[in-house]
Amino acid sequence: MVNQAEQQVSSVIANGHAPQAAELAEKSERIAAFLDRHGYSALLLSRHENIAWATAGQVEARVALGSEAAVTSLLITREGRKYYLAPENEGPRLAAEEFAGLDYEPVLYPWYESAAPHLKKLTGGKSFASDAATADATQVNLGSLRAPLLPTEINRLRALGRDTADATVSVLESLEPGVTEYEMAARTSAALLERGIAPTVLLMGTDDRIRKYKHAVPRKGVLEHYGMVNLCARKWGLVVSITRFVHFGSVPKELAASFTHAAQINAELLHATRPGATSAAIFAVAKKAYAAAGVPEEIERHHQGGPCGYVERDWVITPHGEQTVALPQAFAYNPSLRGAKAEDTVLVTKDGVEVLTGTPSLPVIESEVGGKIYRAAGVLVK
């Protein structure tokens, strides 16, 4: 069944109308204000997250999945002209499948030549900005332009979170002792891809490797008692993160206690994520929560997450971070200790926290902070 977010994207392709029209207009206004504020003649977008953001999730122009650069670039001028620059051999597909219904003019060139001469002509040789290293351009970070999220983006994030959570549960429930970490990664990839979702991070850990390594990339581990499915997934340019665990036989008391602590730290982080809160202030909350759990050293062993959306993390909380929360905004925190971790993607609005990757069929740990209940996933016991 086609979900609401897919229908909205398809309607833009078909007739240029639907809620995305307002989203596209808002993106254009943010870019125009950015150009005016800094005095640039144009903005060149080459990174996939910014291309997807500017086109309301319609354009997915990567060919190499491991690359952040697309096979096309967008040029948006201060006067409001919009172009996509690409090799001629990419032109037909881009026109038919990516830019249909969008008001971008194609600028094509032979695959063995460069876009540079066209950029110089289109910008009139004036100073322009680029989100990637580009000759004659000032490189800029556009993370601040992508926040706060718009209603249509939130709809797409909800759909992605729900489908990613369903895929994760299906994999977790399929696991049995004897499965290799490579098989776990293959099952996870298949479950995502059949839903039209691309995996961007696949961390599959088993038994001692979960306790030893924060980033347990698939290796030669074979599941005996304890397995971890940890992933990031992308669709419409948006990204969500989720981690879930399975244990065969009763969970050791120390490990169960670690999950309780991780859930409490996660709750403290979510409760501290308020409008205008700084990266440093939220980090201080995390540090205090780890100390209260009796493991102050654990915060040094892995980053604690932060806001997300069009990349896995727009920024992570740090002791001196100056970035601020701009609601509505998506966040993925990942507090961990002693082989346990709490990680979901949530939407934070002025009304509170909505878990986008919730898995209600799996065990849930409830934690209270300031009179509010926050939920994190527990371990599936088989």
CATH number at residue 247: 3.90.230.10
pLDDT value of position 20: 87
Which own/partner pairs from 108-114 qualify as long-range (CB within 8 Å, at least 24 positions apart)? Answer: 109/85, 111/87
On whether the CB atoms of residues 279 and 321 are closer than 8 A, the answer is yes
Residues 244 and 376 occupy one common structural domain: yes
Instruction: Report how far residue 315's alpha carbon sits from residue 243's, in angstroms, rounded to the nearest whole number.
Output: 19
Same domain, 138 and 155: no
Grade residue 253 by pLDDT with cuts at 50, 70 and 90: very high
Which residue among 144, 160, 193 closes a domain? Answer: 144
Number of domains in the chain: 2
* % of the chain exceeding 70 in pLDDT: 93
Verify that 118 and 200 share a domain, yes or no: no
pLDDT digits (tens, 9 = 90+) for 90-129: 999 999 999 999 999 999 999 999 999 999 999 999 999 9
Res 67: pLDDT: 63
d(CA 141, CA 278): 18
φ/ψ of 129, rounded to 5, equals: -105, 155
Q: What is this structure's pTM?
A: 0.93
Asked if residue 98 and residue 31 are part of one domain, the reply reads yes
SS (H, E, C) 282-305: HHHHHHHHHHHCCCHHHHHHCCCE
One domain for residues 132 and 240: no
- Give residue 228's domain range: 151-381
For residue 62, is pLDDT > 80?
no
